[in-house]
């Protein structure tokens, strides 16, 4: 129980801190429906399982110790963030609010929303190091595999609940109406933030 509480606390601090996942969820909340935002959160949660899986089988340690593999993941992740940021910077202004939760931006298919969240998380090299440290420094190596899998499942579910809850609040009609007047500028700011995160990831080193 002590290990679980430690993992829960560390994970909460990590998932709530500003980063690529938070930025992509905020961007989706500004431009997409609540349903799309929830699907994006589901994609982020699936990305968590990727990190958990390779940490358990030892691939995470190989990635962390290999400059080439780490650099490949780093550059792909940075490129993806730069791409999403550029799309935000060049987005067209909204015309009106339709329905109760979204603008006139064309609805993103569920599979596309899942892909956006999944790639953002799975290609984040800092997440690679975070989960490797978690499973090597906090979780006892003698812990049964099923318990470690449950730890990973918990973090995936907790991530989904956090981001889907955050997105649900940000897509409330009252907030959307207030944000509509500054929608374009908000998306531009998010574009700059995502590009800045991409550059930061590209320049990051293993820690």
- Confidence band (pLDDT; 50, 70, 90) for 148? confident
Contact 109, 36 (CB under 8 A): no
Q: Average pLDDT of 72-79?
A: 72
The yes-or-no verdict on residue 154 having pLDDT over 90 is yes
Nearest to 121 by CA among 33, 193, 201, 189: 201
Query: Per mean pLDDT, which range of 2-11, 66-75, 128-137, 160-169 is the poorest?
Result: 66-75
Highest mean pLDDT among 54-63, 80-89, 162-171, 189-198: 162-171
pTM beyond 0.75: no
Residue 12 is assigned to a structural domain of this protein: no
Q: Would you say residue 190 lies in a domain? A: yes
The reported pLDDT for the residue numbered 39 is 95
Q: Is residue 124 part of a domain?
A: yes
Residue 139 lies in a domain: yes
DSSP strands (E only) in 152-198: none
CA angle 153, 158, 159 (to 5 degrees): 100
**Nearest C-alpha neighbor of 156 from the set 43, 69, 73:** 43
Residues 185, 191: Cα–Cα separation, whole Å: 10
What is the percent of the chain with per-residue pLDDT over 70, rounded to a whole number? Answer: 71
Q: Would residue 9 count as lying in a domain? A: no
- pLDDT at site 164: 93
pLDDT digits (tens, 9 = 90+) for 3-53: 788 888 888 888 887 788 888 888 888 778 889 999 999 999 999 999 888
The range of the structural domain enclosing residue 69 comes to 21-203
Do the domain assignments include residue 172?
yes
Q: Using one digit for the tens of pLDDT, what is the confidence trace for 88-124?
A: 677 665 544 444 444 445 678 899 999 999 998 888 8
Domain count, the chain: 1
67-89 vs 20-31: helix crossing angle, rounded to 10: 20
């Amino acid at each position: 129980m002590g290990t679980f509480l430690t993992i829960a606390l560390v994970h909460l601090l990590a998932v709530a801190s500003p980063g690529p996942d938070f930025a992509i969820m905020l961007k989706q909340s500004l431009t997409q429906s609540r349903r799309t935002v929830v699907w994006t959160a589901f994609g982020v949660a699936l990305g968590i399982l990727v990190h958990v899986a390779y940490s358990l089988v030892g691939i995470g340690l190989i990635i962390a110790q290999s400059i080439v593999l780490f650099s490949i993941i780093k550059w792909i992740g940075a490129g993806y963030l730069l791409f999403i940021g550029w799309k935000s910077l060049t987005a067209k202004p909204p015309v009106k609010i339709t329905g109760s939760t979204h603008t006139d931006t064309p609805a993103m298919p569920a599979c596309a929303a899942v892909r956006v969240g999944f790639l953002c998380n799975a290609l984040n090299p800092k997440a690679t190091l975070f989960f490797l440290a978690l499973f090597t420094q906090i979780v006892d190596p003698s812990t049964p595999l099923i318990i470690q899998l449950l730890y990973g499942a918990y973090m995936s579910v907790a991530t989904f609940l956090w981001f889907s809850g955050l997105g649900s609040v940000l897509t409330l009609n009252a907030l959307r109406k207030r944000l509509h007047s500054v929608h374009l500028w908000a998306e531009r700011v998010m574009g700059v933030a995502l590009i800045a995160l991409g550059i930061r990831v590209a320049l990051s080193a293993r820690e």
